[in-house]
Amino acid sequence: MIDSGNIIVDKNSRELHGRTRSLLESAVLFGEFPPGQLLPSERKLATRYNVTRTTVRRSLSKLVDSGLLTYKTHVGHRVAPAIRNNKAVSGGSIGLVWNGMPTAAGLVDMEQQLAEAGHVLMLGASGVSGKNEDETIRRLAASGMAGLIITPARAGGESAELELWIRNGKPVVLHGHPGRWIIPEEIVRCSNRVDADNTDGMRQLFSHVAEKGHRSAAFISTESFTGSERFLAFETLAPEFGIEIKKSWNVENVEPTVDASSVVLAQLKTLGELPSLLVCSHYNIALAMIDAIKEAGLKCPEDISVVASSYAEFDGNNHDGITHVGWSGQSECGEMLRLLAKQFSGVDKVPEDVRIPMKLTEGRTVNTVNHTDSFAVR
Let me know how long the chain is.
378
* Each residue's pLDDT tens digit, 334-368: 899 889 888 877 766 789 999 999 999 999 999 99
| Interatomic CA distance for residues 118 and 128, integer angstroms | 29
User: pLDDT at residue 3 above 50?
Assistant: no
Residue 326: how many CB atoms within 10 A of its CB? 22
**21 - beta bridge partners?**
none
* Each residue's pLDDT tens digit, 184-217: 999 999 999 999 999 999 999 999 999 999 999 9
For the chain, helix (H) and strand (E) counts, in that order, are: 12, 18
Q: In what order do the strands lie in the sheet with 353-356?
A: 120-124, 93-97, 145-150, 172-175, 192-196, 353-356
Closest Cα to residue 81, out of 40, 39, 29, 117?
A: 117
Please tell me the predicted confidence (pLDDT) of residue 329. Answer: 83
* Each residue's pLDDT tens digit, 34-58: 777 899 999 999 998 899 999 999 9
Out of 3.30.360.10, 3.40.190.290, 3.90.1150.10, 3.40.50.2300, the CATH code matching 198-327+361-376 is: 3.40.50.2300
Please tell me the predicted confidence (pLDDT) of residue 1. Answer: 35
Which residues make up the CATH 1.10.10.10 domain(s) of the chain? 2-79
Closest Cα to residue 91, out of 30, 39, 140?
A: 30
Strands 353-356 and 323-328: unpaired
311: phi then psi, degrees, rounded to nearest 5: -160, 120
Helix/strand/coil (H/E/C) assignment for every residue in 309-331: CCCEECCCCCCCCCEEEEEEHHH
Element (H, E) at 285: helix 283-295
Which residues make up the CATH 3.40.50.2300 domain(s) of the chain? 93-190, 198-327+361-376
**Superfamily (CATH H level) for 93-190:** Response regulator (3.40.50.2300)
Architecture of the CATH domain 2-79:
Orthogonal Bundle (1.10)
* Each residue's pLDDT tens digit, 102-140: 666 677 778 877 777 667 888 898 888 999 999 999 999
